[in-house]
Chains A and B, each alone.
Chain A
Amino acid sequence: MASTSPLASVRRYAWIAAAIAAVIGAAVLLGELRRSAHNTTLPGAARIGGPFTLTSHDGKRFSSDSLAGRPHLVFFGFTHCPDICPTTLLEVTNHLAELGPKADQLAALFITVDPARDTPEHLARYLSAFDKRIIGLTGTEAETDAVRKLYRAYAEKVPGKDGDYTMNHTASVYLMDRSGALASTMTFEESEDVRRKKIARLLDR
C-alpha cells in the first residue's frame, strides 16, 4: 500500500468536502445579502404562496400558472362579512381605478374562506359592485383550505344562532411580485397613501 492509510484519505476527502461546502455556503450567503440589500423580499417570503387551482367567479377553473410574470394581490374573506371584506374590496377597487390601465398587469384575487356559501354565482353577484378585474375564487373546502395554508392565512368558523356562523380570518392583503414571492402585506388600517405606495412599489419591482 502507499504511504496514505485509508483512514487518512477519508480524512483528506472530508476536509476537501468541508472546504467546498464552506465556499458554496459563503457564496450563497453573499448572494442572499446582496439580494436583500436592494430587494425588499420579506424574511420567510419563499414559504408564502405557491401553485394552486380553484374555481373563479365565472365558473371556470383558475390556475395560479396564469399569474406567471404578473404582480398580484391576494386576500381572503367571505361575503357574509359586514365590514372588512367589502371595505377591502372597495379599497382595492379604488386603487385599481386610480392606477387606470397600469392596473391591467396587476391581478387581484379574493379567495373565500367560506366556500360552502360562496358559490361562483354568489361571488359573481357580490363582486359586481367592485372592480371587474378582481377575481373571486372558491372551490371545495379542501381546495380553499389548501390555498389558505399556502399563504399561512388563518380562518376559523364561529358558530352563531340557528346554525348560522361567521368567520374570523386573516385580513391582510398579500402583495406578491412577478416571481410569485411575497413582497409586502397591507391592511385596511393603514392610510390610503401607504397602501398606494406599497402597490406602486410592487408594480416597479
Chain B
Amino acid sequence: MKITPIRASAALQVAATLITATASLAGDYKAGDLKIGEPWTRVTPPGAAVAGGFMTITNTGKEADRLLGGSATISKRLEVHEMTMDGGIMKMRELAKGLEIKPGETVELKPGSFHVMFIELTTPPAIGTPVKGQLKFEKAGTVDVEYKVAPLGAKSASDPAGKVDAGGMGHHGKH
C-alpha cells in the first residue's frame, strides 16, 4: 500500500487523538461531579506499616461532597487524614467525618497536608506497579482509581526525589 500524504496525516491525527485520550486516562478519574486528578503514592522505607496517598479532587457540581474513605489492594485499611504543623509539632488526625469538597473547589491531597493513609500495609508500594484502590464519596459514590508510585520521599507525583543513591548509602538501599 502506498502511503499518500492524506492517509499519513489522517493516521497522525488518529495517533494524536489516541495519545491525548491515553494521557487523560493515565491519571484522571471521574465520579459524578467530581474529577480526581493523578492519584499517587510513594515508595516507603522497608518494614513501613503505613503510606500516604495523594491527588487533587475538583467538584464541578453544585453541591458539596465528602471523601469518606475507601480501600486499596496494598493495605488492610484506608483512612482520610490531615497532617498539620503546630509550633514545630507534627499533628496527625483522622477526618472522621470525611474531607469536604465544596462546589467549584479543588482540594489538594499532598504531603504535609490532607492525604489518604494506607494503614497496615500488606504490599509495599513499588515503582512501576500502580496501586489499585477505591475511593468512597458521600454523594458521588465509589470510584476505582490507580495510584502512580513515586520514589521514596517524593514531594509530588513527578518528583524524581529520592537522591538516596547519591553516596553514603549501603547496598541494602534497594528493597
Measured CB to CB, the residues of A under 8 A from B are 79-84, 86-87, 89-91, 93-94, 96-98, 100, 103, 122, 125-133, 154, 158, 160-161, 164, 166-172, 185, 187-189
Closest to B50 in A: A82
CB distance from A148 to the nearest CB of B (A): 12
User: Does B5 sit at the interface, judged by CB under 8 A?
Assistant: no
B44 cross-chain contacts in A, Cβ below 8 A? 82, 86
Measured CA separation A108–B79 after assembly (Å): 32
Contacts beyond the supplied A129-B175, A132-B169: 9 A-B pairs with Cβ under 8 Å: A84-B112, A100-B167, A125-B46, A125-B47, A126-B45, A130-B164, A131-B168, A168-B90, A172-B88
Closest to B162 in A: A90
Q: Is A171 a contact of B168 with CB atoms below 8 Å?
A: no
B119 cross-chain contacts in A, Cβ below 8 A? 160, 164
Pick 19 A–B contacts, CB within 8 A, sort by A: A79-B47, A82-B48, A82-B117, A83-B83, A84-B90, A90-B164, A93-B168, A94-B163, A94-B166, A127-B45, A128-B173, A129-B173, A129-B175, A133-B168, A160-B79, A160-B119, A164-B120, A168-B91, A171-B85
Q: Is B50 a contact of A80 with CB atoms below 8 Å?
A: yes
Q: Is A168 a contact of B89 with CB atoms below 8 Å?
A: yes
With an 8 Å Cβ cutoff, the count of chain B residues facing the other chain is 41
Closest to A189 in B: B85
Q: Is A126 a contact of B92 with CB atoms below 8 Å?
A: no
Q: Is A128 a contact of B117 with CB atoms below 8 Å?
A: no
A158 cross-chain contacts in B, Cβ below 8 A? 92-93
CB distance from B8 to the nearest CB of A (A): 48
Instruction: Using A96-B168, A171-B85 as known contacts, say yes or no to A166 and B92 having CB atoms under 8 A apart.
Output: yes
Instruction: Using A97-B168, A161-B77 as known contacts, say yes or no to A82 and B52 having CB atoms under 8 A apart.
Output: yes
B153 cross-chain contacts in A, Cβ below 8 A? 86-87, 90-91
User: Does B172 sit at the interface, judged by CB under 8 A?
Assistant: yes
Q: Is A79 a contact of B164 with CB atoms below 8 Å?
A: no
Q: Is A126 a contact of B46 with CB atoms below 8 Å?
A: yes
5 closest A-B pairs (Cβ-Cβ)?
A90-B153, A129-B45, A171-B90, A125-B47, A82-B52
User: Does B170 sit at the interface, judged by CB under 8 A?
Assistant: yes
Measured CA separation A79–B117 after assembly (Å): 14
Q: Is B163 a contact of A97 with CB atoms below 8 Å?
A: yes
Measured CA separation A98–B93 after assembly (Å): 35
Measured CA separation A168–B90 after assembly (Å): 6
B92 cross-chain contacts in A, Cβ below 8 A? 158, 166-168
Measured CA separation A161–B93 after assembly (Å): 12
